[in-house]
Structure 1
Amino acid sequence: MARQDINRSGEMEVFVQVVERGGFSAAARVSRMTPSAVSKLVARLETRLGTRLVNRSTRKLLLTPEGRAFYERSVRILADMDEAERSAASLDNPRGLIRINTSAAYGTHVLSRILSRFLCDYPGISVEIVQTDLVVDLLAERADIAVRAGPMTSSSLIARKLGDTQLMIVASPDYLARHGTPVTANDLEHHCRLGFGYVRAFSDWDVPQGDGIVSVPVAGRVSASDGEALRHLAIGGTGLARLAAFTVREDIAAGRLVQVLDDPRTRRIEAFHAVYVGQGGHLPARIRVMLDFLSEHGRVS
């Protein structure tokens, strides 16, 4: 095969993914190829180079010394190519589409208020937003960035923290006038506790009971798929809801909601992160500038 017919940079990118992802299947998902196609590509690469790059076993891949040297040179070459392309395109003018997956609460109360500024700063970038409180697979959903609440689990995702927020139990003045204001866990027995329609990291409510604290399960006739729906249900007088502080502060100040069962011993703090799939240290400029923008202007408290 003539050298000009070989996509050597493409082969390097796939090989780097094989090494960094630890296998053909994981590299295939990132490279949008089948595992067999990745395996054949590496085999062709080894044939052309005249040396074995990886030792295959049923459980894992091990680099040969030649494979390690080729991997390290490939990383440097790809980084140089990326730098050359960034210099040619100018990092001051990144272009392209960014797909953001975010909770309804963050999308409504934070992202929608700052996005116009980002679009003015970067006229070459367009943004597609999908709002859901469910944790999604970024690769399957073709999302570049996801904003997630709660503790980060170990995964291949890289995270930038966007702050911490208190979870507040709130209700409308009308609801409390009809059902009374709860003070202890026992008082919640006859209250409608609005919850999410899926399992969350912090599902039960920690509330005071005498000198101690008890965890009370969410129990009510209504549940919803996102925090914004629960917020509107609470404002409408349907029941009590536990929501992120940054989403209800304006409602509390305006008298639409009232915080109840606030006790220093039971205050639950929830972290927010912008997460993205690591790409061997190579992030497109459009994603990098959005992450920097969220870190500066999209923080919660």
Structure 2
Amino acid sequence: MVGPSRAHGLCRGGKALDLWPSLQSFVQSVRSGSFSAAARDAGTTPSAFSKKVARLEAHLGVRLLIRGAKGLELTPEGQELFQRVDRAFEDVEDACMQATRATEPRGLVRVSAAMDTGRDWLMPRIPRFARAYPHVELEVSLSDRFVDLLAERFDVALRVGEFDDGRLMRRRLGRMRRCFCASPAYLRARGVPRRYEELAGHVKLAYLRGTQRDPWELPSGGRLHPQGPFASDNNAGLRQLTLAGLGVAWLPELTIAEDVQRGALQVLLEHPPDPGMPISLAFPQGRLLAPRVRAFLDFFAEEARTSLRP
């Protein structure tokens, strides 16, 4: 792009950018040899080209082209202008080609993710993303604290639960649901609960939120308040306690999916699933997404389609 100071030196009034369409018509006409040929290439009329070149000549106050027997001929002033502007157009075309090649996803994407969902769902899929997009770098911050994407300069956030922020767009991935589970060793020792009421007689592993223990929400609408000897403020910690056979836990399906698959944990009291909380990708609104960010969003949206419940 021609800067204002150079534009002022090239064209009176400093309006080179305003003259861009006329300069394009001038260059195309010279390259094609006639207004008619240039018009055919552009899919317009010869008079449209002629008028734009005439406006350029009027603005500059010099004759640039003469219609000769063999087509358009350049005046000395036209020859000098063409040589310079033609080089400029070639530079612009090269720059556009470079920009097109630059749309291949590459560069850094900064991601904020909720602790459990990031650890159990996002992180295991990053190797596949890395193979699909070898030129994209990721910085992933796992935290359950509130993250202001704009203030902290994150590109994307993987969030659990509803949020209302008019500055952000949202791409829904699925839902995070919880289920009751225990190890086979614990169940052999204490028995398998067949009804929710029977959970009251089991060792209940509690999730700590501050100093309070989260109640267990039952499908009937009732609640159980875990008061057992073990509690943690981290689902990964509760998973370890459950695998060790210390009690029954209410954990996200994502956290225990592999344990259930290999038989290390057993889901209890099968019932219509907990409605759970939405899982979304959030990103700043009103920005043209860089190819690297769009690649991240598209890849993990497709991953969610096959791995998360709707």
| TM-score range for the pair, normalised by the shorter chain length | 0.5 to 0.7
Tell me if structure 2 keeps the 8 A contact 1:149–1:273.
yes
Query: Highest relative contact order (Cα 8 Å, sep 6+), 1 or 2?
Result: 1
Shift of residue 165, structure 1, vs aligned partner: 4.3
1:1-301 aligned at under 5 Å gives the runs 88=99, 90=101, 92-198=103-209, 203-207=214-218, 212-264=220-272, 267-278=274-285, 280-299=286-305, 300-301=308-309
Compare CA radii of gyration and give the structure with the larger one. 2
Tell me if structure 1 keeps the 8 A contact 2:109–2:138.
yes
- SS of the aligned residue for 1:197 comes to strand
Tell me if structure 1 keeps the 8 A contact 2:112–2:140.
yes
Pair 99,245 (structure 1): closer, same or farther in 2 beyond 3 Å: same
User: Aligned partners of 2:246, 2:144: CA distance in 1, in Å?
Assistant: 21
User: Aligned partners of 1:92, 1:154: CA distance in 2, in Å?
Assistant: 29
Aligned partner letter, 1:247: T
Tell me if structure 2 keeps the 8 A contact 1:98–1:125.
yes
User: Aligned partners of 2:96, 2:192: CA distance in 1, in Å?
Assistant: 62
User: Aligned partners of 1:134, 1:295: CA distance in 2, in Å?
Assistant: 23
Shift of residue 160, structure 1, vs aligned partner: 0.7
- Give RMSD over aligned pairs: 3.2
Pair 229,155 (structure 1): closer, same or farther in 2 beyond 3 Å: farther
TM-score (norm 1): 0.59
Question: Percent identity, aligned pairs only?
Answer: 31
Aligned partner letter, 2:274: R
Pair 188,147 (structure 1): closer, same or farther in 2 beyond 3 Å: same
Tell me if structure 2 keeps the 8 A contact 1:133–1:225.
no
Shift of residue 130, structure 1, vs aligned partner: 1.8
Tell me if structure 1 keeps the 8 A contact 2:200–2:224.
no
User: Aligned partners of 1:86, 1:185: CA distance in 2, in Å?
Assistant: 65
Name the residue aligned to 1:45.
none
C-alpha distance after superposition, 1:94-130 (max 9, x if no partner): 3221121223433344323332232233232211122
Shift of residue 170, structure 1, vs aligned partner: 0.7
Aligned partner letter, 1:245: E
User: Aligned partners of 1:277, 1:218: CA distance in 2, in Å?
Assistant: 40
TM-score (norm 2): 0.58
Pair 135,226 (structure 1): closer, same or farther in 2 beyond 3 Å: farther
Tell me if structure 1 keeps the 8 A contact 2:176–2:252.
yes
Tell me if structure 1 keeps the 8 A contact 2:119–2:142.
no
Indicate the larger mover: 98-107 or 189-198: 189-198
User: Aligned partners of 2:186, 2:151: CA distance in 1, in Å?
Assistant: 42
User: Aligned partners of 1:174, 1:271: CA distance in 2, in Å?
Assistant: 33
Tell me if structure 1 keeps the 8 A contact 2:103–2:291.
no
Ranges in structure 2 where 5+ consecutive residues have no aligned partner: 6-94
Pair 123,250 (structure 1): closer, same or farther in 2 beyond 3 Å: closer
User: Aligned partners of 1:258, 1:124: CA distance in 2, in Å?
Assistant: 41
User: Aligned partners of 2:98, 2:290: CA distance in 1, in Å?
Assistant: 13
Ranges in structure 1 where 5+ consecutive residues have no aligned partner: 5-83
Tell me if structure 1 keeps the 8 A contact 2:110–2:140.
yes
User: Aligned partners of 1:291, 1:85: CA distance in 2, in Å?
Assistant: 25
User: Aligned partners of 2:166, 2:245: CA distance in 1, in Å?
Assistant: 40
Shift of residue 289, structure 1, vs aligned partner: 1.4
Structure 1 ranges of 4+ moved more than 6 A: 84-87
